[in-house]
Structure formats: C-alpha cells, structure tokens
Structure 1
C-alpha cells in the first residue's frame, strides 16, 4: 500500500465518518510490508547478555528489546517501514510493570513501531506463579479446627513469603472495587471463601437501617451514618470468628448499588448481625421501585472454605489456604501487579499485536495519551479490575480483540475535550467483550465504558454483565453496529446502555445496534442454548432497561436499533432534546418510557445536591460561549423554558410488535408532558393493551401513534435475522427503514483462540 503522509493527514483531519477513518487506519497498520527491521525476543531460549536480537540469538526480555531500540535510533536512520519486535514465550510482571513512552514511537502510519506475538504466542502475566511443590497439607490444629469436617484433608496451604510476597494488607472496612490479591487456577478465577457457596441470603428483617432521618416529601435521599443491624436465620454464624475479619457483599438498599462492608458483631441469641461501619445508603429498602428483599453473601472466612476452588489468606500469618478443584495444583497464580501491567504512554504510531495478557490486579494493557496507536488481536482475561484502558490522545484504540472475565470493566475508552468539543477519534471496533463485573457488580463493572468527546465503538459483541453492559458520558460519541445481550443479570434499575444526570451530555448517537435478552430473559435465553449461566436474577424487579437515559440526560439520538426482549427499551428519565427514531421493539416490557422526575429532583442553579444541579454542570462547560453556543444553541434559554420538564423530545417512525406496553409514563408526566413530546407516525402491533385514546392525531393530521389490529406473526426471528418480520412490517408500514441486523455485531471472528462458553461462565 502506497499512501503519502500528506494524504493521510488530510483523511484524518477532515470531519468525515469515523468508520472511514478507522478502516484506513487499520488497513495501513496491518498491511504486510518490506523494509521493516525485525528483532526477536524469546523468554525461554533468549539471553539478554549474549543475544543480539536476531532470530537465531533472541533476547530474553521485552525490556532489553525496548532499551536497545531506543539506543539504536540515536545512531541509525529509522527503517523505511518501521521496527517489528516479535515476542515468544511467557513474560511475568508481578511487581515491576512494562512501560513504553514517546521514545518508543514510530514515525508514521507507514513506519510504525510494532511489538507482536509470534505464531508460537506471547503471554503476559501479572501474577506470581505458586509452584505445586510449595503447597503443604494443613496440619496446624487451630486451623483444622476452623475448617469443616470433610474438607480438612482437601485444603492446602502455601507460605507466600517463599515467593517474595511479604505482606498483604487486610481488606478495608468497606469498598466496591476489589482492593486485594486474587487467586487463579487453570485459567479460571477462584472464589474467595464465602457463604453460601452460591446465590444470596435474603435479609428477613432490618432492626436499624443505620441512616439519618430525611424529609421524604422533598424527595431527599437517605444515606448511611452508622452501623446497621439486621437479622439472620442461618446456624452457620455460630462457628465464625469475627475477630479474624469477615466481610459481607450485598445490595443493601438499592438494586443498582452493591457494596462490601465489614461485619462487626454476631449476636447468636438474637440472631443479629451488626456491621462494623455504615453502608453508603443504609441497609433495607428505601424506595417503592426496589421491592426485592435486600440480599448479601458472606466472604473471607476460613470457616466456610468448603467448596472446590475456594481460597482464603490469613494476612497475619501471610499464608494462603486453597481447596483445589480435583486436587490439581499444577497451574496456580496469585495476581499481585497493582499497576497497569503493560502501559504505552505518550507514544505515536505504536502497535501492539497478538499477545495474551492475564492475572493483573490493575489494568492489563493501556494506551494513554497516544496518537495513531493500536492494540489489536489481543486476548485479555482474568483481570481483577479492568482489562484494557484507552485514554487521552487521538485516533488510538482496540480492534479485533477479546477481553473477558474482568473483575471490574473489560474496556474503558476516553479522550477528547468536552469544553472545546474536540473529538479524540479513539475507538473500539470488532471486539468481543464479555463477562464483566465479576467482583465489582455495579458502579463500573461494564463490558465497555466510553467518555469525553468523540469516541467510536462499532461492530462489537458485548454481553454478560451483572449490571450495566455499556456505560457512557460526554459528547459526540458514536455507538453503532454492535450486538449487546445478557445485561442486567443480577441487579435492577440499569440497562444495556446507560448514561445520566447531565443536560450537557449531548450529541451522542446510538444507531444500528441489536439489543436483546436482558435480565431474566437473558438467563432463559442462555439456558435454551445449552449454557449454564451462573447468575441469580433479581427477584421482583422490573427495572431492566434497554438504552437508559437516566436522570434528565439530554440530547442523545437513539435510531435504527432493534430491541428484542430488552426490558423497558428506550427509557427517557426526564431528559430533553432526545430523539427516538425508526427503532423496532419486539416483545419488550415497554417500548418507550418518559417521566418528569426533574420536577421533584432537579436543582438547577441551587448548588450541587447529589449531582442534581444540572445548570452548574453545563456552566462548567461554558455552554453560553463558543463552541457550545453554536453547537447546542437550544441550551442558551434552558432556564426560561420549563427546565425541569422533559421537553423537546421526538419519537418518530418507530414500530413495536408484541411488547407488553407501547408507552409507559410515570409520575405526572402524562399530564405535564405527553402533549409536548413529538410523537409522529409510530405503529404498534400485537399489543395486549391499546393506548389509542391518549394519541389523537397531530394538528397537521399526521398519526402520532397508531395501534393496529393486524397481527404480525413472529416465527423464528433470530434464525432469519428478522428479515421475514421486517418484510411483514414494511407491507403495513412502507416508510419503516429496514434494519440490517446481519451487519450488527462482529464483522469477523476476533481470533483463533476465542474462549469457549466453559471458559468464561465461571464467576
């Protein structure tokens, strides 16, 4: 491929489609060219002392290759088509991490700096391997007395000081993000000892919620201020030693907030737990929306180390206790790397290609403040927190990769400048991101998060998250041609996609995506395919959304998407300037939702109150100055335009088939707002309930929403990519735009070593 740098600059400078830019970018950085200078690293056969980096005498470490190339560039001309460093073997980074900087940049898209795995493979590990020879059967009588009968001869111990791990801090009193080490065996995350071994315990009665009094008539929120007290019914706690440190993970108040707190005391006579500290929102139901009983499980207690795969660390003795599955101790790793294991910072034209990375506490891989750089064909798994970070810089991203089994988020993508509306052009394309939130179930346990200004996500397959699958914030992002399923598998009041509480999060477009099977529908769908999803969906909760524009979020466009069994599909929670256009809703709980929560909660101009001063947020963006006043002129008079109402929203050209409800309106929205929302030419079929009486014709005679009597057969929708259904719809609604469902999701397989279901269903 022969493209001059000047032409490339023109391509990436003009405001053209994201996809065109990224296609050109990937084509250039993946093309096979001559005049590259190759070096080789092999962790098993190489030597940093006598190797010269050739294929016959490779180096042993990546650091040696990096440092040698830095020196080499000082004395020789950069190769016409760049450097390629080919990596083979396993590279461990339990303490120090691997960093690349501006010194390691390529010179152009045609002359990048490339670090790539060989055909034999390259694996990066952020943990300490625990040799089988270091394990001993438990013999200490005091420890054996704490273990249950029947497992005492199956639990092994390992002195961590023998592998250089001298001190592991106790868990903090409360947390959301897992703050300590984690154990892996045979490529799966092991379970810290817990009770019960699966599922949750429901709280039968709360004695003291631990909250401060509030004025409910003013919609004030309750917050925890002291330890809580609640009852239990189980007999197991009589064996537990609280002085050793026991923690409880639970959905203590809200279905959207899971938190781990330390147990302070056990009263077996009253059968009551007292927490060591307050939970953030107290313990017990707060809202009529959250009707499910509060639930929790107990963790980090040696007395409940009773199932294969469970482990426990005595932080005072610095000893690991482990009950291996099938007695297999051959492949055990303790993740200890707290930093980003492999970080590329401030580089340009840098490519990381084909590696695998696992068992890191911090992110496994990151591009930070890079330009025109790429991570591709990688497989990242079993990270205790996040998998991959792409942050800052321009035109950099992740492509053709798989990231899964993340303790927190699989991928985080940010960049750009919201105040200046400068787009970053950072991207995630053709990636398989799945099984997030393994340890942090809410508040960050996404398959994908994107924020800032001008990110792009396309042709990805995203699935299996206990809470929100895709979270986003900021401006001018484009999310298109993705498939999203099996979100909201353990929680409530969230969605497949979520953003919220910002008048200024404007200009985002969500189009040509396939959202399907969320919550209980996701569990049922997976079981029908012969899988064994390890989730317990939230009982009694109906708060499962498709695309969730929460708490007065404004200015987003949701168009040309397919929602199939996706809960409350297009959910507008009090926001303004949103557009819901040409979507197809099939068997959803509700196709469209509006409410006017801003009348009670929004506090524009009243100072920050739990983030509800929406005016202050756009003032931080200088909304009345350039470029905001030109890009979003409608904000200029927002305070004179009934700011607390969901005004200037548009719902046009949508079709609903078989959904339980077409429009759901909460609070007083039907009286305050329904007549002020632009409903035009929406069509509803197979509806059990007609709402035709609230949808008279528009003043110009056009249809607002038409509830049709024709019955559209659904048939085997997924086997036909919904083509037959859309043909029937277009016979009745000729203006409906065809949705290319076959183009939604991955364009091609991510890699030859994609995980099997057995690999990634472990939690």
Structure 2
C-alpha cells in the first residue's frame, strides 16, 4: 500500500459497526494546514483536492466499498483556488451511499477564487500626472496599490465592446462589489444615467446606401449636450454602458471619439439594434460612462491601470480595517461532469470572476444550505436530472442567480430538477438583461418557495415544457428595464405545459405611466400553453400580458393596484414576422416541427397544438379567463386590441370580479362591455372592504367571512401565508422583505 492509501485508511473514521451493510466514513479538511495531513480529525488535509484524490485511490485499492458513505468535513477558513475543483463520474456516490462535502459549521468554509490584498499596500498617490486627472477635492483620499507582484501575467484589456462580464479582475471590499469609476455616480442627485435623444448615425447597415461605409454596421454617433466628456482621457479608454435602442438590450461600447464643438460622441463598435433606432418605451436613450480615472470621485469606486498594474481605490471606510479581495479566477470554483449522488452542504463559494458551481450531465447532486456571492457570473448552473438546490443564498452576482436545465423535450421526459427555498437577490450586476434570478429550460423543472428581488431585469426566465413555478415571492425586479417581465417566456408555440401557480409578484420597477411596459407575467410573441393560476399581483405594472399566444388559461388570480390587469393582443394577425422563415426566431412552425409536434407524445399531450395549422393559427384562441379578481386597476382592467375584441366569444370569460374600492374609473367602464365580469364599486366615504387580513402589511390572505368570497363564491382562496421562504435547519429568516405577513 502506498503512503496516500495508507494514510487514507487511517484517516477514514468509520462510524458504523462491522456488522453494518455499508459504513459511514469521514475525512477532514482544514484551512492553513502546514504539515502533510492524512485526512483524520487530528491531521486533516489542507485542500479539497487531497480529499477527492484520497477517495479515488481508496476506491481503487478496495479500502472504500461502493456502498460506503463518505463525509468530507471542511473546517472554517479560506480555501483559495487557482483552478477549478473538478469532479467527474469516478467521484460519484451511489443511491444508498452519497459522497458529502460539508462545512463543519454552515457558512464558515469559504471556497474562494480571488486574492486578498493587504490594506497596508494601498498608498497615497504621489504621481503628479495621475493626481492631475483626479478631482482636487478628493485626490488625497484615493489610494493606489501596486499589483505587479500578485499578478505576474499581463492583464487583458477591456474589449472594444462586450455584453455582460468584463475582463478580469474585479475588486471587492468588505463582502461587497466595488464600482468601476463611472459617471454619473450611482447615487447622483439627478439619477444614475445620462440621456440623449438626438442621433446622428444609428450605425445600422444600409445595403442601399450610396456611401460604401454605410453599407455595413459601424459605431453609431449621437449628440450629447453635457460637456462632461471633455474631462475624459479617451486614449486611455472610456466605455459607455447603454440601453442604446431597446430597454431590454444593454451593451458596453468604447468611445471612439468626442467632438466638443458639436457635442458628438462616436462609438468604436456597432450595436446590434443600432443607436436610438426605434423602440417601445421612452424616447430618450441612456448610458453611463465607466473605466474613467477622472471619474474616480465617490467612495467605493476603483480604477485599474491595466498596463502598469496599478489599482486606484476610494475606500468607503477605514481601509486598514477592511477586507479587500481581487477576484481573479476565470473558471468556475467547482466544475463537475457526469457526477452522481454527491452533496455540497453549508459551503460558501465566492470571489471568482466566473461561476460558483457548474454541473454538467449530473444526477442526484444536491447543493444545500450554501452561499454563492460576489461572483462575476452565476451562482449555480445545473444541467442534468434529479438535482436539487435547496435553502441557498445567492447574491452580488454578475449575471444570473441559478439555472436548471435537463430532461428531454422531444420525448417530454421530465428532469425533475428542483430549486427550493433559495434567497436570490442583487444579481445582473454586469449583464443587466436576460440574466435572471432563476433560468429554466428543458423539461420538467420545479421552482418552489424561492424569494427573488433587487435586479434590473427578469426574476424568472424560462422555456421548454412541464415546469412548475409555485409559492415564489418576487419583488423589486425589472428595476431599470422595459418591455420586460418578472416571469418571462416568449416566441414559441411549443413551450407548453408550464404552470405558474401561487406566486406573489409585487413592487416591480421600470416603465412609466404612458407605456406601462413592465409586466408581472409576460408570455411574449405568441408563446402558448402556460397556465397562470392563483397568483397575487400587487403594484406589478401590467400584471399579466399574453402577446398573441393561445391556450393560456388565466385562472383565479388576484390583481391589486396595478395600472393594467390583463393584456391580450393579436400580434400574430398583424405582424409580418409571424411564422416567417426570413425571421428565424419567429419561425414558430419550424420550432414545432423540430420536436415532432404532430406525433406522440406531443400530439397526445397537446392536441390543440398538433392541430394548430388547421385552426386559425394566427389568432390568439383558447385563452380562458375565469375567477380572477381585479382591484383598483388605475388605467385599464383589460387591455385588448381590436382583433382580440372580435374574438372574445371564443375566450371563455366567466366569473371575474372587478373592484374599485373608492369609486369607478375609465378603465373599469370599458370592461363593462365584456361579458364575464361582475363590477363592485365603493366610494371615498364608504370604500369596499374585500376581507384581506391586513392589506397595509401586504397580507392578502382572506378572512373566513371575506366579502370577496360572498360576491364571487367560485373564487378559491390563495394560500398566501405559504408563499415564499420557509424555515429549515439552514434558514431561520423567512421574511427578508421589509413588510411582514
């Protein structure tokens, strides 16, 4: 027996008797171990890699049987990685005996992809050229750190244009991401965005243009009246993060030139949709400048001279007492392929310029009670079947919170992956659109009892079949975007069988009174086959939006204080893109053919979809609207276009209630023309009380004698108290919102 196998045999402590069919064995890992350990409690391993390799070799030697459970106990401290911790099929447990990587105390074992910087290494700035570029009032508060010893390799420059994660590294201080020097500042009195409305060149290609330069895409240009750009050193590089045309498409593009005489900014690369080339939303476009040393003027901002490896920082607090980390690892902290029956419990994954955990083709892998924070990409990415993410905290993330994919759509075989009781917030810091709190694809995922909040765009982004979204609380999302939804899916007839039930969606951002282009649930561009049932929408913009799709039941929802309660349009009847092969993403029939929609199991499961091409496919048919309650919709209860109004007799509209607690509005009058709605109105002196337990505290549970149930007996009480996080051994706090239920 070689030394590693010998020490492993000593270090594996069996906690089962010799008569037990399979043993439970333990290994120990501790931070800052100096002596070579054997994995025992007395002389633990120093790294996860040592523990993994010891398990591998013990299996090879026969010291570890297939049905032996192994728990790797990971002690408090920092485990800094220079490359991913990788696991594969050989590291799997079995159905009866999992391999468990568990913190000895939840939240204390910190797996890290960054380097800690010594606060004493940050010095006052003495270089007169640098000082001259800084605002005189704060230049003595800025500190500089020489990174040449920590970062031996050249630092990659920022790309001319990019969407999402910038080149590494990124700075964090006291467990928070710092802000790359920018203008306007995040807390600027007049807002965190600069705006413009006059475009000189959209940058879009015009094949018929006389000027050959305009026949291909190029960096656009616009007029920006504010003289601020005159301060910036464009040769050193200044980038603009902008919503250049659409409020759902952000991109960072370097400035090519600025002409102060006519206030013209020209960008160095084209934007896919052009510059201010037409959108549904506000006429003004917006951006902020970043990576400008001249704008290093607010606490928490930093700037990196990538050539000289000088990091400039304006600290929030006493720098000497601060914990400063530079995230440098550009690979996932943990990466696993073909792994089975493995658990991660109570661990912290942090400070990587990448993802926390990436699982590919895994089965029965559990991530429980863990934290993923301060990462440039996603917290957890799961691809496989029967995997679970439970009771985890995910925040300060550059892209999305977590994603689930798996199952087989063609055979409609469910993955049965589960995301449950997770708290996900402050994500989308780098990629600000289509980086959701939870992303779902494939077939048969479940998303339950999660709390998702504080993000620029979607809370849940999904596609595929037979997913369940239940008992989730979502708030303060779509905060800086428009034409966007808290729950979003779109442009697919085949995204069938998904159920959104008993979710609480409230206090959304974005949009304005004119456009109301923030939605609670958004079924975009003819998406079909989803059930929206028993949800509560409160201050949620356009609560439910069905954009031309069919077979989308809207049942038993409670909509309160939303400008628009329900929107249905018939864009399939009027838009030139509809099912048009020239627009590949709009070729709906081709997407259906790809999954064999006219053959079993699809034709058995979704018979109306199988017959769609012979059943007026452009029309938004079979959208039953039953037992919904709309309370104080200030603009419109129902926003239906002209073609939809002609088809309402095919919508099965029944037993809906419209309530204006203190008097009628114009939006209610229009609904009176539609059958299937009962109206109830109070007055300012005698407002309607529907029987909510405590509306002021956002408790929309109904009392036993609620008037709503008497007026609309068919309404099924929503189990409001069950929505959101629940207590377990990893989570004591169940109400992270300011409000109390």
d(CA) in 2 for partners of 1:111, 1:496: 40
* Contact 1:603–1:614 (CA under 8 A) maintained in structure 2: no
1:722 deviates by: 1.7
Matched residue of 1:333: which SS? strand
In structure 2, the partner of 1:273 is 265
2:352 to 356, 360, 366: 360
Deviations 1:428-482 (A, max 9, x none): 00111111111221122x1111111100011111111111111111111001011
2:88 pairs with 1:101? yes
Query: 1:516: Cα distance to partner?
Result: 1.1
Which deviations, in whole Å up to 9, do the C-alpha atoms of 1:712-737 show, x marking residues without a partner?
A: 32674153732347822102111110
Further displaced range: 736-745 or 263-272: 263-272
- 2:701 is aligned with 1:723: yes
Structure 2 distance, partners of 1:63, 1:118, is 18
Over 3 Å counting, the alpha-carbon distance change for 1:192 and 1:223 in structure 2 is farther
Query: What secondary structure does 2:105 align onto?
Result: strand
Match of 1:187 among 175, 178, 184: 175
Find the partner of 1:310 among 292, 301, 315. Answer: 301
Shift of 1:749: 6.0
The 8 Å contact of residues 285 and 291 in structure 1, kept in 2 or not, is answered as no
Which structure 1 segments of 5+ residues have no match? Answer: 1-32, 216-221, 521-536, 698-702, 759-763
Determine the structure 1 residue equivalent to 2:98. Answer: 112
Residues 622/214 of structure 1: CA separation in 2 closer, same or farther (3 Å cut):
farther
Q: Which residue number in structure 2 is paired with residue 599 of structure 1? A: 573
What displacement does 1:140 show? 2.2
In 2, the alpha carbon distance for the partners of 1:56 and 1:46 equals 13
Conserved 8 A contact 1:311-1:320: yes
User: 1: distance between equivalents of 2:710 and 2:174?
Assistant: 54
Give the equivalent residue in structure 2 for 1:205: 198
Q: How many angstroms does 1:689 deviate by?
A: 3.2
* CA 166–62 in structure 1, closer or farther in 2 if over 3 Å, else same: same
Aligned to 1:123: 110
Q: Equivalent residues in 2 for 1:372-451 (5 A)? A: 372-391=364-383, 393-444=384-435, 446-451=436-441
Residue 752 of structure 1: CA displacement? 5.9
How much does 1:72 deviate? 0.8
Q: Residue 665 of structure 2 aligns with which residue?
A: 688
CA displacement at 1:662 relative to structure 2: 5.3
Match of 1:530 in 2: none
1:205 is displaced (CA, Å) by 2.4
Aligned partner of 2:725 among 735, 738, 746: 746
Residues 514 and 214 (structure 1 numbering): CA distance in 2 closer, same or farther, change over 3 Å?
Answer: farther
Aligned match of 1:83: 70
Question: Does residue 565 of the first structure (1) align with residue 539 of the second (2)?
Answer: yes
Residue 48 of structure 2 is aligned to residue 57 of structure 1: no
Shift of 1:691: 5.1
| Equivalence for 1:668 | 642
Quote the Cα distance in structure 2 between the aligned partners of 1:540 and 1:439.
Answer: 29
Whole-angstrom distance in 1 between the partners of 2:458 and 2:688? 32
CA 1:450–1:599 in structure 2 vs 1: closer, same or farther (change >3 Å)? Answer: same
Do residues 135 (structure 1) and 135 (structure 2) align? no
* 8 Å CA contact 1:90, 1:125 repeated in 2: no
User: Could you say if the C-alpha distance between residues 204 and 613 of structure 1 is closer, same or farther in structure 2, counting changes exceeding 3 Å?
Assistant: closer
Secondary structure of the equivalent of 1:452?
coil
When residues 425 and 134 of structure 1 are mapped into structure 2, their CA distance, relative to the original with a 3 A threshold, is same
Q: Which residue among 629, 634, 640 is the counterpart of 2:603?
A: 629
Q: Secondary structure at the match of 2:574?
A: helix
User: TM-score w.r.t. structure 2 length?
Assistant: 0.88
Residue among 670, 688, 706 paired with 1:712: 688
Please state how far the C-alpha of 1:519 moved relative to its aligned partner: 1.1
8 Å CA contact 1:561, 1:583 repeated in 2? yes
Q: How far apart, CA to CA, are the structure 1 residues paired with 2:592 and 2:328?
A: 41
| Aligned twin of 2:548 | 574
Residue 341 of structure 1, CA deviation: 0.7
Kindly indicate whether the alpha-carbon contact (under 8 Å) linking 2:527 and 2:549 is maintained by their aligned counterparts in 1.
yes
Q: What is the CA-CA distance between 1:672 and the residue it aligns to?
A: 4.1
In the alignment, the residues of structure 2 paired with residue 482 and residue 107 of structure 1 have an alpha-carbon distance, to the nearest angstrom, of 32
Question: Structure 1, residues 386-422: CA drift from partner, whole Å, max 9, x if none?
Answer: 111111x211020011111111101111111111111
Find the counterpart in structure 2 of residue 494 from structure 1. 484
Deviations 1:36-61 (A, max 9, x none): 111100012464x2x11111111111
Q: Please give the residue correspondences for 1:245-284 in structure 2 after superposition, counting only pairs within 5 Å.
A: 245-284=237-276
Contact 2:202 2:277 in 1 (8 A): no
1:613 aligns with 2:587: yes
Q: What do the CA deviations read for 1:155-187 (whole angstroms, capped 9, x no partner)?
A: 222232311342221111222111322110110
Q: Which residue of 2 aligns with 1:460?
A: 450
Separation in 1, partners of 2:669, 2:578: 35
Counterpart of 1:481 in structure 2 is: 471
Alpha-carbon spacing, 1:654–1:338, altered in 2? closer, same or farther (3 Å):
same
Query: What TM-score, normalized by structure 1, do the two folds share?
Result: 0.86
Measured on the aligned residues, the alpha-carbon RMSD in Å equals: 2.7
Instruction: Kindly state the Cα deviation for residue 661 of structure 1 after the two structures are TM-superposed.
Output: 4.8
Q: Which moved more, 1:574-583 or 1:276-285?
A: 276-285
Counterpart position of 1:656: 630
Partner of 1:645: 619
Query: Does 2:450 correspond to 1:470?
Result: no
SS of the counterpart of 2:339? coil
- The whole-number CA distance in structure 2 between the counterparts of 1:489 and 1:381 is 21
Paired with 2:308 and 2:574, the residues of 1 have a C-alpha distance of 54
- Tell me if the contact between 1:492 and 1:541 (Cα under 8 Å) persists in the aligned partners: no
